[in-house]
């Protein structure tokens, strides 16, 4: 499939998708493009325009070994360019310099196992994020850099029983990031998060559900925390 669009503020869009599926294999390629001249978020409305561009590519591949075992792989890339009006600009509405770029990618692997009333899902992913902000203000032009690598792993177990469903999950996140302004030293923002949680939904009767959730998060840089929720 392929599609094109055009609208106000010289907004142009295009998207294309190619898909395949048989008894075991599924594959899909998605691509999209969006560009708009935009308008200023500040009065007067005839101030300089703030443009935005977005490019996106998404690849998906799935394979069913049998009725109980499935594997999914996905890869996504998003690139953006944004113009904005800096808060500290001497002439905010006419700020034609301040802009930002964003480049991010993510690859993920998911494995799903089912057997009767039991399901198990394993998830592993890695994301790369690179954002640059170019600003102007009282003290001249500035350049902010934000970069991060995010690794995530999760194992989710679910069991359906006569009157409800119970879920037990384990999660691990590793964030390696930093930000820097102009030539000042880098500011690190690294931390890890380990979590375990238990959730249960119980059918009291055909009109009433009881939901209970309990979660514990452990951090290497922050205070550990236990949270809960009960709902009817």
Residue 196, CB-side half-sphere exposure with 13 Å CA sphere: 0
Task: Please report which confidence band the pLDDT of residue 187 belongs to, taking 50, 70 and 90 as the band edges.
Answer: confident
Least confident of 60-64, 90-94, 132-136, 178-182: 90-94
Q: 93: which DSSP letter?
A: G
The answer to whether 171 and 195 have CB atoms below 8 angstroms apart is yes
Token digits for 38? 């935009």
Task: Please report which confidence band the pLDDT of residue 90 belongs to, taking 50, 70 and 90 as the band edges.
Answer: low
91, pLDDT greater than 70: no
């Amino acid at each position: 499939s392929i599609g094109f669009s055009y609208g106000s503020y010289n907004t142009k869009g295009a998207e294309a998708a190619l898909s395949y599926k048989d008894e075991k294999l599924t594959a899909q390629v998605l691509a999209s493009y969006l560009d708009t001249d935009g308008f200023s978020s500040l009065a007067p409305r005839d101030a300089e325009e703030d443009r935005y561009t977005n490019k996106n590519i998404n690849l998906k591949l799935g394979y069913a070994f049998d009725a109980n075992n499935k594997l999914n792989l996905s890869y996504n890339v998003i690139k953006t360019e944004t113009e904005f009006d800096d808060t500290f600009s001497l002439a905010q509405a006419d700020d034609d310099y301040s802009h930002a770029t964003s480049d991010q990618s993510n690859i993920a692997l998911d494995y799903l196992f089912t057997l009767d009333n039991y399901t198990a899902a394993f998830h592993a992913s890695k994301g790369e994020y690179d954002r640059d902000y170019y600003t102007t203000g009282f003290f001249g032009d500035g350049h902010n850099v934000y970069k991060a690598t995010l690794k995530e792993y999760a194992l989710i177990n679910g069991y359906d029983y006569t009157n409800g469903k119970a879920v037990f999950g384990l999660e691990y996140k590793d964030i390696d990031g930093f930000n820097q302004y102009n030539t000042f030293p880098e500011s690190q923002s690294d931390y890890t998060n380990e979590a375990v949680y238990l959730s249960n939904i119980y059918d009291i009767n055909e009109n009433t559900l009881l939901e209970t959730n309990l979660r514990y998060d452990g951090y290497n840089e922050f205070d550990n925390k236990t949270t809960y929720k009960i709902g009817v």
